[in-house]
Amino acid sequence: MRKLHTLLGATLAGACALAVVPGTASAAPSAAPQTMAALADTTGAYYEVSPARLMDTRAGLGAPKAKIGPLGKVDLQVTGRGGVPTSGVGAVVLNVTITGPTMDSFVTAYPAGEARPDASSVNFAKGWLGSNNVTVKLGAGGKVSVYNRNGYTDVVVDVVGYYAKDNSMTNRNGGQYEWYSPERAFDTRNDPEPKPAAGTTLEYSLDFGPELNPHMRTLVFNLTAVAPASAGFLTAWSGATAKPTASTVNYGAGKNVPNMAFVQTTPCTGTEVGQWCTPGSRKFKIFTSASAHVLVDVVGGVDDGYSEWGMRFKPMSPTRIVDSRTNLGIAGAMGAGSVRRVTVPGALVTPETGVAVMNVTAVRPTNNTVITVWPADIPEIPKPSTSNLNPYANQIVSNAVLGIIEPNNAFNVHNLTGSTHLVADMVGTFYYLAPAATLAGDAGKSQPQIVGSSHR
């Protein structure tokens, strides 16, 4: 088995907290130069971009200025826009936001030119406001099809990154994904300060140590808004630039809403006011437009190709692997406190596969509940105190999940209360450049000890 990467044992030490005037952000110091490793082969490498808006049906951006109607479809041009190159791109990481739907429905994003799959990307109720991180394989002409099932809804699409299709990428500075044991790194409910006010900018850092810090570029975490006072949004970004117009989590009043986020980081310089983060550690910002608590559950990161445990991405057309309503993958609804083990079909993985990239949907739970996914066959990783989905009673809601499936192509899923059906659609896999078994036994490389600090 591969070396265990975990946050366990790390000290999440809160630094001196400084007030930030609502609606403002502290000035970000200029970023220190980063070590960049030129990849010999870019296939499957990840490239981050500053969050950029590709489509907004409310404004006529990237699509007609009109809600997408029942059985309606928009073919969205992705390549050549928002920092995505015109060629060499195999898949993109999008944030898809639904606003003002007139009926319960779902939206599916899939490769343009292909038959629409039996899968969903965002599930929502009438009047819902929310978003989901969606990884999509690109189709004909570098486009993605966006389909709406029922009623009329506005759709907003922001791009945050892309994956190289092959070795033709002229930019050799791509990154590789590395998973970590799911761990709650930050939770404002535990802060001595009150609940963040509307317009607050939170600033966090994670210290991977002097060896890894210069190579870390992007953090991957589940970002959750808890008990917001009114409808609004969270925006997460590196903080090295002004706050982008793109949003990361969109929430309604009083709703706990998670979303998977790929967030660029910038180095701490040691000159920060209050010296709240260690020089060289990686920092980022989160803005909340309404008063809300904020949770950050770290699941992975992207470096510059330095780590021998780095993984590449292989996209696929959305493929349903779990539907408890039809006993696919899971037999019947999950009861309170139940754990189910799901094995990914062998045709979708290889000996090099370590992570399944999925869209997981809770279908009409009988109670408000929490869904948690973690690896099935790594004894050192018990069920974490994190969440992947926070569905309400009778809600149908989705979230992206990067499910660790090594060493036996399986993951566990837990339902907290009531009973719920579950659906999972795979959109790709992360794989090692060599079989994971050949990487075992490398005791010489120390385990990252990640230390967190926070600032308001």
pLDDT at 245: 86
Q: How far apart are the first and last CA of the chain?
A: 40
pLDDT at 275: 81
pLDDT at 36: 56
pLDDT at 271: 87
pLDDT at 46: 97
Strand 257-264 versus strand 72-77 pairing type = unpaired
Instruction: Provide CB contacts within 8 A for 396, sequence distance 6+.
Output: 104, 106, 123, 124, 125, 361, 362, 363, 364
pLDDT at 450: 65
Residues 287/234, Cβ–Cβ less than 8 Å: yes
Instruction: Provide CB contacts within 8 A for 40, sequence distance 6+.
Output: none
Helix (H, G, I), strand (E, B) or coil at 213: helix
Q: How far apart are CA 423 and CA 405, in angstroms?
A: 17
Rounded to two decimals, the pTM is 0.89
Instruction: Mark the ranges of the chain whose per-residue pLDDT is less than 70.
Output: 1-37, 435-450
